[in-house]
Amino acid sequence: MDNIHICCPKCKWEPDGKPYWQCTCGTVWDTFSTGARCPSCGIVWKDTQCIIEAGGCNKSSPHLDWYEGLEDIIKKLKEEIEQGWKVEVAELVR
């Protein structure tokens, strides 16, 4: 997870850990500390708005698009899963 970089996919603004996002329940929090899940009511937000007051562009993007480097992690996980399948199949053949 060290290779993940969080930034707006449209303007590259980087969140600073401050609680800029507000849920419909009224909770204000840092959406990246919870993977876009409101810590109070549990709603998960599909999109995340870039914060203009903090130097961003004010546009919304899918939350997962903010995480640069996920593709590499997913590729590695797929390889590990496929390797595990090969081991299990080999054990069944014996």
Higher-confidence position of 2 and 81: 81
What domain range includes position 23? 5-68
Between CA 35 and CA 44 the distance in angstroms is 8
Task: State mean pLDDT over 19-41.
Answer: 97
Q: What is the pLDDT of residue 92?
A: 57
61 located within any domain: yes
Which 8-state DSSP code applies to residue 37?
B
The sign one gets for the Cα dihedral 14, 16, 20, 22 is: positive
Residue 15 has a pLDDT of: 97
Domain for residue 79, yes or no? Answer: no
Distance CA 50, CA 76 (A): 29
Asked, for residue 54, whether it belongs to a domain, the answer is yes
pLDDT per residue over 32-80, tens digit each? 999 999 999 999 999 999 999 999 999 999 999 999 988 888 888 888 8
Q: What is the pLDDT of residue 85?
A: 75
Residue 44, domain member (yes or no): yes
| Total number of domains in the chain | 1
